[in-house]
Structure 1
Amino acid sequence: MNTTTTARRGSQTGLKNTCDYEDWEDLKDLFQKAAEQYESEDASEALSLLRGVIHECHRFLLHYQDPSVLFSAPSPHPDLDSPPNLSPSDEKQPSDWGFDNIRSDSIRSKGCHRHVAEPQPSLTRRKCKCRELPTAFHAILGSTLFLFGNLIAQDPEAALEDEPNIPTPYWLAALDVFETGENLPKRTDGRSTCEQPEDWRMAIVWGRTLVCIAEEAIDKCHQTPSFTADEPAWPKESPFSVIAARRPPITLRMSLAGATANDLMILAMDQFSRGIFHMPHPLHAVPALPDGTDSGVATPPPTSATAADNFSRAKELYTVAHEVLLLAEKLVVPAERQYWASWADSVFEQMRMEADMDNWRGPITRMRGKCWLTFGSARLDDIETRLQEAKSSADSDAILASEAAIEGRGALEKAMEFFERALELGSRPGEDMELDRSAEDRDSLAETKALLLEAVLPLIDLTPDKAKRDDLYARAVRVGGEDVVQLLQGDPMDEDED
């Protein structure tokens, strides 16, 4: 495996003169190992493996303009792929040159407006029997670049010589790879004779890449992303140089310069919607049939190198919604925070239908509370500003009675309900749970109590009815316990020390 810098050609790239199907299987195994190391948070080992994947993909690109030729099924109608090779004398038989045929041709040409062309036989769509999706290679390379950029964002010093120590170039290269895969001839020429499933994994990672670019722009305090269509001057032998050479002439990155974070999120939502729609659902899985039995249903080929046994629809949905929510909390415009918090909540809500919901109920309940907290806080930001500018108590009462204030309070109350439920779930011992909670469980409970307080404080301040305020306080204390009392009133121990 080659783990040298990705800014140059790998030292082992030219050792083998060909790439075959066995190499493709090895590449999938290598990517799976890299993804497992990434999930285990072993950054050093994951980076080495990801560099190996990039160099191996580079070798494929040097041998093939479209590496999918290694694993795509050949066309069952080769005569449709290219025109027949006929000599002039073979184009028409001698009998075709007779007077009757010439006369009929002339009549057709003169009365072409009345001539109805004979219908051509349509291509019969058959069950997909491809070994892999045409985009499988590009899904691996793009996902590798996405993960690589994430690790560089966490530790810029992990970049090797001549490698960019910022994540944006890797994420932009991932976008180029995804767009190249999306525009492969097998997907765009319209002559495919099988129903190819959508590569939902590529769509999900594509969307996550756009979210990362948007978040990077916000973290750097720019109103627009800090990049243009230009890119680093990659050496000619670099894998990134080949990626740039293979991308379509007009790409998405050309329209990204000047795009706001919200614009990028809209593009990401399109990819997420496509990925979630085509993502397999465990409850609707097609049961295995005996050998030799044809169900008539197209069984989709694998869509990435990760093993099917590792797939969890709940995990995929949770990851998407969580990353969108994290970005929503950072958006400056209140209306945008509301929209994306609501979108994330809708994805969390979908997880109620998942087969493994029991394992996710606690985290999802807490995250849905955060969604409504973000929504309500954004709604009440303007209310607090207007209250500060109010000139009389009558003006303040009118503001608190407005539709916006009512909607904001309703959202925060809903957030409280989710946090209360999350605390109940976290406090309820399971059958196999030890009496002594782990540090992670204690941190989770402490975070939920802090979030509950974050929802209660503005509610108490912006609720005009005193009885309602007392009820909110009592609810928070009843669920959160002494910790919430100390957070609301201050730690009495600290007051004694003062």
Structure 2
Amino acid sequence: MLYSPFPPAPPQARSRPRGLWKGRGTPKHGLDLDHDLRPAKRHRSEDTSDESSNDGDYYIVECSPEPSASVSDRSDRSEMDNNDVNPETESRLEDWGNLKELFRRAAEKYESDDVTETLSLLRSVLHTCHRFLLLYQDPSILFAEPHRAPPPSISAPPPPRKKCKCKESPTAFHALLGTSLFLFGNIIAQDPSLAFPTEPSAAATYWLAALDVFETGESLPSRTSGRGCEAQEDWRMAVVWGRTLLCVADAALTLQCATPPSPPPLVLEPQWPSPAASPFAAIAMRRLPTSRRIVLTTAVPHDLLLLAVDHFTRGIFHMPHTPAAAPGGLPVPFSRSSELFTIAREVLALAERLPAAAERVRWATWADGVLQQIQSQTDVVARIRGRCWLVVGTAHVEDIEAMAEARGWGEAPESQTSGVLDSEEAEEAREGLERAVDFFERARTEVGEEQDDERRAEAEELQAFLVEGLLTLANFTKEEGKREALYQRAQLVGGDALEGMEVDDSKSY
């Protein structure tokens, strides 16, 4: 208690001081040892009596609080904490490394056509991935670096966003699992008897599960929350995603074009007792609630091709132009030309089977555009490009035949039917067929004489394509001299296969 020689004054109601109390707005300064911490005298209010002695004054000392850590200090401490060795993190990284090595071996066996060993390794990969799906809501925790962000501060500005230094893409696990299902489905599609009794024998089951995995990986919180680092696009997953959609589209087309219609191998999703019973059940458990599963009986191949090309376009855009280390432990040495060739070949294989001529023209032209990006235009590339333009030309021929039949093919006077070959469709058909013949001729000149059985079979296939292109082009050529020259070239290329060939005069002008 403070001592005063005067008796205390009777209590009076204090009037509200004018102005604001400046102490409320005084900022807290950091501790400065170079300044004296002298007591500050408290000023009297205006209603205080002047008769009071100075001995009645009292003093208070205001000490500065301990300085708070800045944003950079908190960031430095966070980085130091991240460098601490965590046994659990080391164990996860070891599990992830073992899984990548297992997948690398499986992919190598797949490329070497060792079916038995490939299935054995892929089963081990799926079993391990199944275990991780049951343990972790987001399996990317296996390889993601621990991030301990400091608590957000209202007054402090946000720290600058650092460049991503992650060794793995956030979708690396889902890319590995989806690719394994894609490869497994390809093998089962060739021989369903290779599946165990407890495994689905329909290849579409594996492909549809792979699509679910890719979609789940694309919607991870680390990719959609905006709080993670700006990781590079996983172009490999985009490419395999598109290839899987092509397989599903091919299966749907086969099912819908069957005569008589065959019973669908996968109408409803198989029912599993629990997620622990099968990796397919665990994948379904992690599936997004808003995702719509593809049904083969109602799927439209053209629509699936649109989705596939979207993923191909994204993958090609982010695909490096020079060989680089494969992220995620993917084993096949990178070759941009090989990736582009595979994409174009599989799109063309599906385009050739589409029922609508306009759809065949669209996707065959798209495949040729992909092949144009390959720097080394070898005989193999020329043969595939010739097939692309053969599809374009024959598709336009179908339109011409439909027009001619509508006008009475072979029944109407020649003056009415000859105009069909002067149409725009006829010009596009001849242009496509001429380009196809040019590519086939180029491929023939680059094929050597010494060939193994595989190359010999490819040469025979190339010969059949060239003959088809020459004959079709001859049938829709108006000039008689050019038409006869094309027939002679076809006879020369086909040889004994065209002995006794009869030209359909009703379709030639």
Percent of aligned pairs with the same residue?
49
- In the TM superposition, residue 43 of structure 1 has moved relative to its aligned partner by 1.4
State the Cα deviation string for residues 364-410 of structure 1 (Å, max 9, x = none): 00000000001111111121233343322112210011110110111
1:132 is matched with which residue? 168
Task: For 1:432-451, list aligned pairs within 5 A.
Answer: 436-451=450-465
- In the TM superposition, residue 472 of structure 1 has moved relative to its aligned partner by 2.6
Whole-angstrom distance in 2 between the partners of 1:280 and 1:145: 25
State the Cα deviation string for residues 198-222 of structure 1 (Å, max 9, x = none): 0111111111111000001112235
Distance change in 2, residues 1:189/1:447 (3 Å): same
What secondary structure does 1:304 align onto?
helix
Task: For 1:121-200, list aligned pairs within 5 A.
Answer: 121=157, 124-192=160-228, 194-200=229-235
Residues 125, 195 of structure 1: 8 Å contact kept? no
1:68 is matched with which residue? 140
Q: Number of residues paired by the alignment? A: 405
1:405 is matched with which residue? 426
State whether structure 2 residue 243 is matched by structure 1 residue 208.
yes
2:269 is matched with which residue? 231
Whole-angstrom distance in 2 between the partners of 1:452 and 1:361: 17
1:472 is matched with which residue? 486
Residues 331, 337 of structure 1: 8 Å contact kept? yes
Amino acid at match of 2:280: F
Distance change in 2, residues 1:26/1:121 (3 Å): same
Amino acid at match of 1:181: G
Task: For 1:238-257, list aligned pairs within 5 A.
Answer: 238-253=278-293
Distance change in 2, residues 1:454/1:121 (3 Å): farther
Residues 200, 276 of structure 1: 8 Å contact kept? yes
Task: For 1:272-291, list aligned pairs within 5 A.
Answer: 272-282=312-322
2:371 is matched with which residue? 348
Amino acid at match of 1:231: E
Amino acid at match of 2:247: C
Whole-angstrom distance in 1 between the partners of 2:265 and 2:170: 30
What secondary structure does 2:167 align onto?
coil
Whole-angstrom distance in 1 between the partners of 2:416 and 2:162: 69
1:112 is matched with which residue? none
Amino acid at match of 1:263: D
Distance change in 2, residues 1:487/1:228 (3 Å): closer
Residues 201, 303 of structure 1: 8 Å contact kept? no
2:308 is matched with which residue? 268
State whether structure 2 residue 341 is matched by structure 1 residue 318.
yes
What secondary structure does 2:311 align onto?
helix
Whole-angstrom distance in 1 between the partners of 2:442 and 2:359: 27
Distance change in 2, residues 1:79/1:475 (3 Å): farther
1:33 to 105, 108, 112: 105
What secondary structure does 1:20 align onto?
helix
State the Cα deviation string for residues 310-338 of structure 1 (Å, max 9, x = none): 11111111111111000000000100011
Distance change in 2, residues 1:304/1:454 (3 Å): farther
Give the TM-score normalised by structure 1: 0.76
Whole-angstrom distance in 2 between the partners of 1:239 and 1:123: 41
What secondary structure does 1:51 align onto?
helix
Whole-angstrom distance in 2 between the partners of 1:167 and 1:252: 19
- In the TM superposition, residue 305 of structure 1 has moved relative to its aligned partner by 2.3
Residues 460, 473 of structure 1: 8 Å contact kept? yes
- In the TM superposition, residue 62 of structure 1 has moved relative to its aligned partner by 1.9
2:471 to 446, 450, 457: 457
- In the TM superposition, residue 181 of structure 1 has moved relative to its aligned partner by 0.5
What secondary structure does 2:290 align onto?
coil
What secondary structure does 1:195 align onto?
coil
State whether structure 2 residue 310 is matched by structure 1 residue 303.
no
Residues 54, 239 of structure 1: 8 Å contact kept? yes
Give ranges in structure 1 of 5+ residues lacking alignment.
Answer: 1-17, 85-90, 92-117, 286-300, 428-434, 492-498
What secondary structure does 2:125 align onto?
helix
Residues 68, 134 of structure 1: 8 Å contact kept? yes
- In the TM superposition, residue 437 of structure 1 has moved relative to its aligned partner by 2.2
- In the TM superposition, residue 73 of structure 1 has moved relative to its aligned partner by 2.5
Residues 252, 296 of structure 2: 8 Å contact kept? no
2:387 is matched with which residue? 370
Whole-angstrom distance in 2 between the partners of 1:340 and 1:123: 48
CA RMSD between the two structures = 2.8
- In the TM superposition, residue 49 of structure 1 has moved relative to its aligned partner by 0.9
Distance change in 2, residues 1:123/1:488 (3 Å): farther
State the Cα deviation string for residues 441-482 of structure 1 (Å, max 9, x = none): 2222211111001111111111111122133345556xxxx5
Residues 396, 425 of structure 2: 8 Å contact kept? yes
Residues 19, 60 of structure 1: 8 Å contact kept? no
Distance change in 2, residues 1:227/1:440 (3 Å): closer
- In the TM superposition, residue 486 of structure 1 has moved relative to its aligned partner by 2.9
1:381 to 374, 391, 398: 398
1:99 is matched with which residue? none
- In the TM superposition, residue 490 of structure 1 has moved relative to its aligned partner by 4.2
Residues 255, 296 of structure 2: 8 Å contact kept? no
Amino acid at match of 1:304: G
State whether structure 2 residue 350 is matched by structure 1 residue 327.
yes
2:85 is matched with which residue? none
Whole-angstrom distance in 2 between the partners of 1:472 and 1:483: 11
Give the TM-score normalised by structure 2: 0.74
Whole-angstrom distance in 2 between the partners of 1:441 and 1:349: 23
Give ranges in structure 2 of 5+ residues lacking alignment.
Answer: 1-89, 502-509
- In the TM superposition, residue 19 of structure 1 has moved relative to its aligned partner by 5.8
Segment of structure 1 superposing worse, 146-155 or 219-228: 219-228
Residues 31, 50 of structure 1: 8 Å contact kept? yes
What secondary structure does 1:65 align onto?
coil
Whole-angstrom distance in 2 between the partners of 1:181 and 1:51: 21
Amino acid at match of 1:381: E
Larger radius of gyration: 2
State whether structure 2 residue 254 is matched by structure 1 residue 219.
yes
Amino acid at match of 1:380: V
State whether structure 2 residue 354 is matched by structure 1 residue 336.
no
